[in-house]
């Protein structure tokens, strides 16, 4: 699964949509954006993310699969917990395999 020291999911959590982007964590613990934000369900973010990752030959196939699997896990979690006020905090607590940064909760 995803190495939590390498990739970080940036999240914008809303009752109407979920914004997700992926950054790469550098050695000095700063992050570098790898993808734009995809707003689900307004767009097919999984397909767009898959396409965007395919244009980055330095990302291994295994990492791409892990990123897409993580994206799917976050979407599924949001679908089950969208109406819970503390849903995003529970997601972060429940997951030891993914690294998250909540940018906004609207």
- Condensed to tens digits (0 to 9), the pLDDT of residues 73-97 reads 888 888 888 877 566 666 666 665 5
The burial of 83, by beta-carbon neighbours within 10 Å (0-12 exposed, 13-18 middle, 19 or more buried), is given as: exposed
- The domain defined by 7-105 carries CATH number 3.40.50.1980: no
What span, in angstroms and rounded, lies between the C-alpha atoms of 69 and 85?
25
As a whole number, the mean pLDDT across the chain is 82
The ranges assigned to domains in the chain are: 7-105
- Is the pLDDT assigned to residue 69 strictly greater than 50? yes
Global pTM? 0.80
């Amino acid at each position: 699964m995803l190495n939590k020291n390498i990739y970080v999911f940036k999240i914008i959590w809303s009752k109407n949509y979920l914004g997700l982007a992926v950054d790469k964590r550098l050695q000095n613990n700063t992050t570098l954006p790898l993808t734009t934000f995809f707003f689900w369900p307004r767009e097919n973010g999984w397909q767009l993310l898959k396409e965007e990752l395919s244009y980055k030959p330095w990302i291994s196939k295994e990492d791409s699969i892990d990123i897409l699997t993580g994206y799917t896990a976050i979407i599924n979690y949001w679908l089950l917990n969208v109406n819970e006020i503390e849903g995003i905090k529970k997601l972060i607590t429940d997951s030891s395999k993914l690294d998250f940064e909540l940018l906004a909760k609207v």
